């Protein structure tokens, strides 16, 4: 069993939870994820690591209460424990040698992009972080990002926090200002990642995107997480979750996302009666 040490709401939809899992905390790296189950009959859900503390033996996850399982998870309190907490899964993000990076988080993707920004900052990289949210009340992790970035640019759809507009507008502006990135890393909605990749393509800037399709087993067996990259289908769970943004077929990913959403909606309706 994996005890919950802390849990707090970051906004009305998003929870940050610190889980005691010493083995994983020793090994997990930015970009990798875990699969958890609340109890032995529960659904397995993948969640990307937000932070870890190898000395304390804890792993931090941040999640949005959108499905039946994440809604149950959001109601759990310190002192309760998770039945399974398996990982680290997937590959760490390739960050070695990067000198100037722009890390982009859209919505909850900000929590997933945070450990990469922190790792880069801790290893001497100049890091710009651009985050995008629908509105101010959904903004998360501003203090944490301020502590590990040379520049933090917040964008909101309605202009209620930071600047009004899209993350791609802020990215284009930074490029126009002469920002000489050797890596752009984007984590967020597929549409956002698609347009980040389209923004960097003309400049040939190495661009990584973190794909988060439906995952069932997390071990390459079920085929649920396939992503079209170049001419081949790869598995986000064992080949990713990061891929070259200039090779990912985002339209295919969007089609598959829509296909699965109807299954998820049915599962949620069944679970909630
Ligand atoms: Fe099943 Fe990746 S989650 S193959």
Instruction: Judge contact between 42 and 35, C-beta under 8 A.
Output: no
Dist. CA 226 → ligand 1 center (Å)? 7
* CATH number, domain with residue 58: 2.40.30.10
Range of the domain at 160: 100-256
Taking 50 as the threshold, does the pLDDT of residue 49 lie above it? yes
For the stretch 68-126, pLDDT in tens is: 899 999 999 999 999 999 999 999 999 999 999 999 999 999 999 999 999 999 999 99
Query: For residue 218, what pLDDT is reported?
Result: 83
116 conformational bin, left if phi > 0, alpha if psi -120 to 50, beta if neither: alpha
Does residue 235 have its Cβ closer than 6 Å to ligand 1? yes
Q: How many CB atoms lie within 10 A of CB 137?
A: 12
Same structural domain, 85 and 113:
no
Within this chain, do residues 124 and 232 fall inside the same structural domain, yes or no? yes
Looking at the structure, tell me whether residues 41 and 107 fall in a common domain: no
74 and 143: one domain? no
- 222 Cβ below 6 A of ligand 1: yes
The reply to whether 120 falls in a domain is yes
Which ipTM was obtained for this model?
Answer: 0.98
Q: Which of 26, 54, 89 is the last residue of a domain?
A: 89
Confidence bin at 255 (pLDDT 50/70/90): confident
Sheet holding 100-106, edge to edge: 163-164, 151-156, 126-133, 100-106, 183-187, 207-210, 242-244
Q: Is residue 271 situated within a structural domain? A: no
pTM: 0.90
> What value does the mean pLDDT take over residues 23-44?
93
Atom of ligand 1 nearest to the CA of 223: 4
pLDDT at 271: 43
Whichever domain contains 201, its CATH number is 3.40.50.80
Question: For 114-166, how does the pLDDT look when each residue is reduced to its tens digit (9 = 90+)?
Answer: 999 999 999 999 999 999 999 999 999 999 999 999 999 999 999 999 999 99
CB 58 within 8 A of CB 20: yes
Give yes or no: residues 81 and 107 share one domain: no
Q: 94 in a domain, yes or no?
A: no
Whether residue 267 is contained in a domain is answered as no
Strand intervals (E) in the chain: 2-9, 14-20, 33-37, 45-53, 58-64, 81-82, 84-89, 100-106, 126-133, 151-156, 163-164, 183-187, 207-210, 226-229, 232-235, 242-244
Q: Is residue 148 part of a domain?
A: yes
Question: Which atom of ligand 1 is least distant from the CA of 216?
Answer: 3
Annotated binding residue 237: yes
113 plus 236 within the same structural domain? yes
Cβ contact 37:43 at 8 Å: yes
Crossing angle between the packed helical segments 190-200 and 250-272, to the nearest 10 degrees = 160
The total number of structural domains in the chain stands at: 2
Give yes or no for residue 56 CB within 6 A of ligand 1.
no
Going from the Cα of 118 to the center of ligand 1, the distance in angstroms, rounded, reads 28
- The verdict on 191 and 127 lying in the same domain is yes
Q: Residue 238 CA: which ligand 1 atom is closest?
A: 2
* Same domain (yes/no): 24, 158: no
């Amino acid at each position: 069993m994996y005890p919950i040490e802390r849990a707090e709401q970051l906004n009305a939809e998003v929870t940050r939870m610190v889980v005691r899992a010493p083995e994983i905390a020793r090994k997990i790296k930015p970009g990798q994820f875990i699969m958890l189950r609340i109890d032995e009959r529960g659904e397995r859900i993948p969640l990307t690591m937000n932070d870890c503390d190898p000395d304390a033996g804890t792993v931090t996850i941040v999640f949005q209460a959108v499905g039946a399982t994440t809604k149950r998870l959001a109601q759990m309190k310190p002192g309760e424990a998770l039945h399974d907490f398996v990982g680290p899964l997937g590959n760490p993000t390739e960050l070695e040698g990067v000198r100037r990076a722009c890390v982009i988080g859209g919505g909850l993707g900000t929590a997933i992009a945070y450990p990469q920004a922190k790792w880069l900052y801790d290893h001497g990289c100049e890091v710009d972080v651009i985050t995008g949210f629908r509105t101010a009340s959904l903004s998360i992790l501003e203090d944490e990002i301020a502590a590990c970035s040379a520049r933090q640019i917040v964008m909101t759809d309605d202009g209620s926090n930071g600047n009004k507009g899209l993350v791609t507008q802020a990215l284009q502006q930074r490029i126009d200002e002469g920002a000489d990135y050797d890596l752009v890393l984007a984590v967020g909605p597929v549409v956002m990642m698609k347009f980040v990749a389209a923004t960097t393509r003309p400049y040939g800037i190495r661009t990584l995107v973190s794909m988060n399709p439906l995952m069932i087993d997390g071990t390459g067996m079920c085929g649920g997480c396939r992503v079209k990259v170049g001419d081949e289908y790869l598995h986000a769970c064992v080949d990713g979750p990061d891929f070259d943004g200039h090779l990912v077929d985002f339209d295919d990913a969007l089609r598959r996302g829509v296909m699965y959403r109807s299954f998820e909606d049915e599962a949620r309706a069944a679970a909630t009666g």
